[in-house]
Structure 1
Amino acid sequence: MSREVERVFREEYGRAVAVLVRSFGDIDLAEEAVQEAFAAALQRWPDGGAPPNPAGWIITTARNHAIDRLRREARRAEKHAEAELIYNIPPDEPDDRLRLIFTCCHPALARHAQVALTLRLLGGLSTPEIARALLVPEATLAQRIVRAKSKIRDAGIPYRVPREADLPDRLSAVLTVVYLIFNEGYAAGSGDELVRDDLCAEAIRLGRMLRRLMPDEPETAGLLALMLLAAARRPARVDALGALVPLPRQDRTRWDRAAIAEGHRIVRECLRRNRPGPYQIQAAINAVHTDAPSAEATDWGQIVQLYDQLMAVAPTPVVALNRAVAVAEVDGPDAGLRLVEGLSLPRYHVFHAVRADLLRRVGRAAEARAAYATAAELAGNAAERRYLLSRAEPDGSTTVTPGEMLEA
């Protein structure tokens, strides 16, 4: 895929699908038409150049493909009439993607299907990328997406933002989706680049939209703060050659201070509400990290306490892994390693990277190199893989400082 087409795909795929779903009421039709539009762009843009409004070109071309397909398939007359109405519909509305998120996160769908389908339609992620984000096999993920689309079609699930009374029950799945989109952008599951700014920006945009929609829901604020504080570190996470820079070695003068200030302000608002939830606690942890002027000045004791709270409300193996990292900084690498060895995350590359770092710090160099190699094998992102392979080198142990690992 040419760079320009790929850029437009990453930035506009979700918007284009959402616009066509609103217009035609058919997810499969919308997605296939948008894919055909991008295929056409691949044929035309390299020679003639991208149009002045690439997103508008994609939506218009996709719309025409959809109408042509409806005509070819000789659908009912009212379907033809509905298709023609698209010409009188504005190309976008601010909440098209929000409608699509809530449609995909309808309670009639299983949670894993909600997440997978929204990542596919809103983020434009491929099946392998979503499978990696959700830590499931590709075949399983593909089946989930197909079944979810069929469920929406067969059950007549409406394409709209729920009524205010129904919003709280639907919020958890929506926040999970936005968080996973951000995570895929923050540490891309595939490709050469560590960070995909388009996905991070899209997730933050959706987070802001959700916060406007539900201003009294502290978890929407917590998620937005979490994403802002994590994204603020982005400029320092890779060096000039695109290599990963671990948190302890990052140049904190390059962090986005405006995003940090906004994130801290939202965290303080959440604390005043005193209705803690998983995203608010994670945001508070990131606030501690970004408040420290240096890695050595980080208040790891406070971070352990916050992870204790997080384990009380969201006791997952990944949370336990993160807590083990913090415990290792407070009580030493042996204590952290004991906690890590009690976890089972065999397909999660960060687990092996954390374990490798702790093994190295307790002097078990050969085991550490093997664990780094396993982590590198599982990592889908080239930047992470290069970093992990460098740590697996026999002479790499002399260059590692405490806490130098992939961000868990």
Structure 2
Amino acid sequence: MESARIIATVTRIVRDVGIAEEIAQDALVAALEQWPEAGVPDRPGAWLTATAKHRAVDLVRRRETYARKLAEVGRSLPEESYDPEPSGPGDIDDDVLRLVFTTCHPVLSAEARAALTLRLVGGLRTDEIARAFLVPEATVAARITRAKRALAKAGVEFEVPYGEDRAARLGSVLEVVYLIFNEGYAATAGDDLLRPGLCEDALRLARGLAALMPGESEVHGLAALLELQASRTPARTGPDGRPVLLAEQDRRRWNRLLVRRGYAALARAWESPRTEAGGERTPGPYALQAAIAACHARAASYGETDWAVIAGLYGRLMELAPSPVVELNRAVAVSMADGPAAALPLVDALAAEPALERYHLLPSVRGDLLARLGRDAEARAEFARAAELTRNARERALLRGRERELGEGTA
């Protein structure tokens, strides 16, 4: 829970994210050694941060640039404060946000930026990041290692970008925050469907970015999307932790405060949309996804959802940011608006997509369409394949249940 803030604090001292991660790990090891005997401190996060900070200062003292660096540390780190004051009106007053912008430096490739930020800020394991990107685990591990080396070699400062530099990094920052939220919203592996801590981290980052850049439409679009998606969390699992499908959720349990926050952020996103070359004002991909989430939030029940509007919004999203996952989501909306027979060819066309070869939601969606068409034997095979592909125990149980129901003729 505290690792991102510890790494960010230490990075401010040592100016090297790789070394900062090692020092943060050392602090966690110290806690494992000392807390069983001395007891857990009242403020464990502060204890960990202070321990890591002291080790970082010791490292700086051992460097040849001792005098200059120590003076720098003394100016920027008041003894009783863990959060530095912003130095200017456009500064970011949160070390974690600084860390996000640092790990999204243009010296790195887009893939390396996302992988490194998910590792350091989101605390995701390498295999979880690989699932998020639909690439082999070894590829992600290599990206993270190369990214740390590249930042150190380039001497990237732990600082806030301004003007064009900030705009150039913003797209990567938003993508990473989105991926962190997604891993918390539907965990790719493990025994639990949700990882609420990741959702909360992503929400906090999105809100911080929105406060920092009030004129950026897509920042508000992302914030709106995350608020609206997070509002469903209380209804997404049953008392025993099993997933509850959207069609079966008790919408009275949706968090109305988060829904209202999402509406407000969405309004800000659409008030200041991007302007294309021809002068037409159009929302960006995150604002469009937030609009889709808002359609669900406005429907009093699953049956009252305006699927035709949602399918149209997915169509606009495909034009703006085409991807096989977006097309799969569009197919689901088409199936609800026009029937499963209209959507099945769209899903079948995605079977040859390399990026979806190990993506469990493709056979899951196809199985649902086949079941609705009465093709039970084929649907069972698709649910079985989906269950084999997922690494989340809760999703696997749900898919096995669908498979069994079709076999029993009770679907």
Query: Of 373, 377, 383, which aligns to 1:372?
Result: 383
Question: For the structure 1 residues 267 and 67, does the alpha-carbon distance in structure 2 shift closer, same or farther, using more than 3 Å as the test?
Answer: closer
**1:397 offset after TM fit, Å?**
6.9
Could you tell me which residue of structure 1 aligns to residue 252 of structure 2? 253
Aligned to 2:277: none
TM-score (norm 2): 0.89
Structure 1 residue 83: Cα displacement: 9.3
Q: CA deviation at 1:355?
A: 1.3
Is this contact kept in 2: 1:188–1:196, CA < 8 A?
yes
- C-alpha distance after superposition, 1:249-300 (max 9, x if no partner): 0010100011111212222333333430000000000000111000000000
* 1:7 matched residue in structure 2: none
Tell me the CA shift for residue 186 of structure 1: 0.5
Distance 2:17 2:179 in 1: 21
TM-aligned CA deviation for residue 167 of structure 1: 2.1
Distance 1:16 1:205 in 2: 16
> 1:219 maps to what in 2?
218
Distance of 2:299 and 2:169 partners within structure 1? 36
What is the CA-CA distance between 1:171 and the residue it aligns to? 1.0
Aligned equivalent of 1:311, options 313, 318, 333: 318
Q: Distance in 1 between matches of 2:30 and 2:257?
A: 40
Shift of 1:12: 1.2
Retained in 2: the 8 A contact 1:360–1:397? no
1:330 corresponds to 2:329: no
Paired residue secondary structure (2:189) = coil
Change (3 A) 1:396 1:21: farther
Range with greater deviation from structure 2 (187-196 or 279-288):
187-196
Give the aligned partner of residue 353 of structure 1.
364
Distance of 1:396 and 1:196 partners within structure 2: 32
Work out which of the residue numbers 271, 283, 295 in structure 1 matches 2:302: 295
**Contact map agreement 2:122 2:180 (CA 8 A) in 1:** yes
Write out per-residue CA displacement over residues 150-182 of structure 1, whole angstroms, 9 at most, x where no aligned residue: 110101122111113322222110000000010
Unaligned runs of 5+ in 1: 1-10, 401-408
2:83 equivalent among 73, 92, 97: 92
1:262/1:81 CA distance change after superposition, 3 Å: closer
Shift of 1:51: 1.0
* CA distance 1:142–1:243, shift in 2 (3 Å): same
The match for 1:32 is 22
**Cross-structure match for 1:405:** none
Q: Does the CA-based 8 Å contact 2:118-2:180 persist in structure 1?
A: yes
Please identify, of 150-159 and 361-370, the stretch whose mean Cα deviation from structure 2 is larger: 361-370
Structure 1 residue 39: deviation in Å?
A: 2.2
- How far apart, CA to CA, are the structure 2 residues paired with 1:39 and 1:380? 29
The amino acid of 2:4's aligned partner reads G
Seen in structure 2, the aligned counterparts of structure 1 residues 83 and 248 have a Cα distance that, compared at 3 Å, is farther
Give the drift of 1:317.
Answer: 0.4
Aligned to 1:55, which of 45, 50, 60? 45
How far apart are the structure 1 equivalents of 2:407 and 2:52? 51
Distance 1:47 1:398, change over 3 A: farther
Instruction: Indicate if the aligned counterparts of 2:216 and 2:272 stay in contact, CA closer than 8 A.
Output: no
Query: Which residue of 58, 75, 82 maps to 2:70?
Result: 82
Cα deviation 1:36-89 (Å, max 9, x = unaligned)? 222232333345432101111111222344455667xx5425289539946745
CA distance in 2, matches of 1:206, 1:274: 21
1:264 alignment counterpart: 263
Contact 1:373 1:389 in 2 (8 A): yes
Shift in CA distance, 376/166, structure 1 to aligned 2, threshold 3 Å: same
Q: CA deviation at 1:396?
A: 6.1
CA contact (8 A) 1:226 1:280 kept: yes
Tell me, in whole angstroms, the C-alpha distance in 1 between the residues paired with 2:177 and 2:307: 28
Q: Is the 8 A contact 1:70 1:80 kept in 2?
A: no
1-structure distance, mates of 2:78, 2:303 = 60
CA distance in 2, matches of 1:49, 1:201: 27
How many Å separate the matches in 1 of 2:406 and 2:315? 36
Question: What is the one-letter code of the residue matched to 1:61?
Answer: T
Aligned partner (choices 320, 327, 331) of residue 320 of structure 1: 327
Give the aligned partner of residue 278 of structure 1: 285
Aligned residue pairs total 388
Aligned-residue RMSD, C-alpha = 2.0
1:381 to 392, 395, 407: 392
Q: 2:161 maps to what in 1?
A: 162
